[in-house]
Amino acid sequence: MKYSPFIRKASNVHELYLIGRKYSKRLPLFEINVVKEIFLDTSLYVLFSNNLLDDYNFFIEFSNLSYFDKSIARCIKISCEDNTYKPAIYVVLEGTTCAKYTFSYFSIE
């Protein structure tokens, strides 16, 4: 079972990485439970990863399926169709159409 920290309202993956790295020991950990996986083409994935707090139509029908339930994050997994170079981004929507809480294995090093 894998437990991971989720960052609230990171504006992009760079900020997600920096906050996660700085506060990872202090953030609560959640078990990841993927309720839906969405595949984006490369250009939309790049747009999304650089603008996590924008509203996206592809979240509309899943916004109420994604929430925290005690120590479980029921999340949407965003993957790039060309996932060779782009890691998945896990999102908890809590009724919104933006990436309110996010987690990724993204590295900027």
The predicted-structure confidence for 55-80, as pLDDT tens digits, reads as follows: 999 999 999 999 999 999 999 999 99
Tally the domains of the chain. 1
Lookup: tokens for 88: 């998945």
- Secondary structure letter of residue 61 according to DSSP: G
Does 54 reside within a domain?
Answer: yes
Q: Does the residue 109 lie in any domain?
A: no
- What's the whole-model pTM score? 0.90
Whether residue 37 lies inside any domain: the answer is: yes
Q: 């595949």: which residue's tokens?
A: 39
Label the pairing between strands 67-69 and 29-40.
Answer: unpaired
Listed in sequence order, the DSSP H helices in 1-109 are 13-23, 42-50
Each residue of 8-40: pLDDT tens digit?
999 999 999 899 888 878 888 899 999 999 999
- Identify the domain containing residue 37 by its residue range: 3-104
